[in-house]
A = this chain, B = another copy of it.
Amino acid sequence: MKLLEDRIIKDGKVGEGNVLKVDSFVNHQIDVDFMNEVGKEFFRLFGDEKIDKILTIEASGIGIACIVAQYFHVPVVFAKKTKTNNIYADVYTSKVESYTHGTTYDIVVSKDFLKEGENVLIIDDFLAKGSALLSLMSLIKSAGANIVGAGIVIEKAYQKGGEIVRDMGVRVESLAKIKSMSVENGVEFC
């Protein structure tokens, strides 16, 4: 998606430790009008699929997923990073390794909101090593629901996540695929 690549070049910042900072428009401040263009693009890509629900993970996936969901007219469910007192019912749970933060955490989804046979599209801001995506897929499988595919805003294609998930037969559509990046040379797209 040219518009996104241009925006990453303009406003993204490459930091030490393999970090692409897009927090001025994706994951701290959210450019909502821009995200509508992202939503339209995901609808162009997945609009012909039967989709009952969009699944994402807190926190930075939520805003994007909600904007995207408007084009599909389906609810968003977001996996929560810890089990809170507000979830009474049983939950599906899975583990995520965060390489950015150097931590491992559980994500949970209430069994009320992922049901057998539902067709679920995953939406997230980043795909790198794939831990969050695999974990969301695991929640969907636990529920006996179907994984329609994953819509990713930015994929670090030089890492293995995308390959692993595509090799499992899951459709992954990334709107910007980064071939390489460095503080010195900036971002190069596939």
Nearest CB in chain B to that of A66: its residue: B63
Residues of B within 8 A of A29 (CB): 75-77, 110, 112-113
Contact B70 A32 (CB under 8 A): yes
Contact with B along A22-47 (1 / 0, CB 8 A): 01110111111101100000000000
Residues of B within 8 A of A77 (CB): 28-30
Our pick among B23, B25, B76, B80 for the contact of A87 (Cβ within 8 Å) is B23
Nearest CB in chain B to that of A22: its residue: B86
Nearest CB in chain B to that of A13: its residue: B88
Of residues A58, A73, A86, A113, which shows the largest number of chain B Cβ atoms within 10 Å of its Cβ?
A: A86
Contact B21 A76 (CB under 8 A): no
Q: How many angstroms from the CA of A28 to the CA of B114 in the assembled complex? A: 11
Contact B36 A80 (CB under 8 A): no
Our pick among B30, B73, B87 for the contact of A75 (Cβ within 8 Å) is B30
Q: Known: A23-B110, A59-B78. Is A30-B85 also a contact (CB below 8 A)?
A: no
Contact B78 A63 (CB under 8 A): yes
Q: Known: A65-B63, A100-B85, A101-B84. Is A76-B23 also a contact (CB below 8 A)?
A: no
Q: Known: A23-B86, A62-B62, A80-B28. Is A36-B101 also a contact (CB below 8 A)?
A: no
Residue A69, interface by CB 8 Å: yes
Contact A28 B66 (CB under 8 A): no
Residue A67, interface by CB 8 Å: yes
Known pairs A17-B85, A19-B85 / 20 extra A-B pairs, C-beta < 8 Å = A23-B87, A23-B112, A24-B112, A24-B113, A28-B80, A28-B86, A29-B75, A29-B77, A30-B62, A30-B75, A30-B78, A33-B70, A36-B70, A58-B58, A66-B66, A66-B67, A67-B67, A67-B70, A84-B100, A85-B102
